[in-house]
Structure 1
């Protein structure tokens, strides 16, 4: 029987992939969850190279019932869940007055309800193991603007949801926190810059420098930096930290 199992959603790319790779140093098994099976296989190879076992589960957790399928597979195979890292979810950055109901709903279903359903499904196993949960928010939760109203609204809801889970976790001995990253250089961010740069009369390299400056920070964050924070949150030294919303954004949000 294995001693430690962590589930990472959104593990096919970006922060999710970086987190799975980082956690391979601390957990015997990494359960990799996302929609893109080929990308998950790539992540799996990288995790296994470090020495951890993997289970690839290519499902859409925005679909009701799918989180239960993930948890059932994990418990049938390994018998336990020690950590759940809810990282899946990309919300379109579209102006408040242009975003359709469908776009709002798709972002909400994956990032907010996907995390809620995954946490609910895994809760009994996490209670049994005295495990840890992290929900991925974003620093836009603190600075909502018309240009990315849905992102900000969903991220703020995730912070509140994490605190509600943490409140229940006090009696169930389950640790729950949320993380609010700033702009991170993921593949999705690079694709955005490849469109943004020429539209603003500059190269991608120039945009990579200019864009963070416009946000009042020195540079973009790296997925591995967020992954290190997540790894700390589900480690024994962080055990008394629960109900916290931790911002890691290079100082972009200036409010107290």
Structure 2
């Protein structure tokens, strides 16, 4: 287990699902955490739980569509922990629909949350990361790598994140800032099968899993382990990589 005493990581979308699992994985590596999300109660509870188990953690409630939010978040990390070493761009939203079924407002919202917020958070973090070198890990999607039916806005937004990852990796490699992306497939989070609960949700997850070569949907921890690896010194010679964590779905 890596021990990065004195280092700090920002995790966006940290109040549930993949973001919460990543926060716990980074805590296990020894990072102090600046947690970001829209759910005050859940974010504060996570920060308190991590702090009680020995990980310094603060929660900042923020809506990443707010253009001022990234600078406020980075400043909060620096004020609380004195430095920034890792940025996890995890916050995102999902809508379904073909091009004909997707109104302009939905298209604009998904592109802003899933792509624009990654750009703005990364831009705000660069000066702090440049001080000692660091890592950005973007959470994209396996739909950034292959075509998707019935989710054009989401898939395009995540493909843009993949290309942004490669471009920023080239721009900042010589500065010691590594930038990679995890591309999850179907993962058992509140976003997947939203609005379905109980036995119906279990049946839905089983049906989704049956279509995946490894026979199951992923867990948040499956994704978190790879994100934590990319954030760690063990991935010190990796930048610009897009890593599918999808049970083989994008290889099929």
Scaled by the length of structure 1, what TM-score is found? 0.91
Aligned to 2:11: 8
2-side partners of 1:139 and 1:113: how far apart?
Answer: 19
Q: Which residues of structure 1 form unaligned runs of 5+?
A: none
Aligned to 2:78: 75
1:1-256 aligned at under 5 Å gives the runs: 3-194=6-197, 203-254=200-251
Shift of 1:189: 1.6
Farther-moved stretch of structure 1 (38-47 vs 153-162): 38-47
SS at match of 1:228: helix
Cα distance per residue 1:200-247 (max 9 Å; x no partner): xx8333322122213554011000111111111111111101110000
Q: Is the 8 A contact 2:94 2:191 kept in 1?
A: no
Shift of 1:21: 1.0
Q: Is the 8 A contact 1:24 1:50 kept in 2?
A: no
Cα distance per residue 1:83-126 (max 9 Å; x no partner): 00000011212222111111111111111111111111010110
Cα distance per residue 1:171-206 (max 9 Å; x no partner): 211010011000000022243544xx9xxxx83333
SS at match of 2:244: strand
Q: Is the 8 A contact 2:212 2:248 kept in 1?
A: no
Q: Is the 8 A contact 1:96 1:146 kept in 2?
A: no
1-side partners of 2:168 and 2:250: how far apart?
Answer: 25
2-side partners of 1:28 and 1:203: how far apart?
Answer: 38
Farther-moved stretch of structure 1 (88-97 vs 108-117): 88-97
2-side partners of 1:211 and 1:46: how far apart?
Answer: 32
Scaled by the length of structure 2, what TM-score is found? 0.93
Q: Which residues of structure 2 form unaligned runs of 5+?
A: none
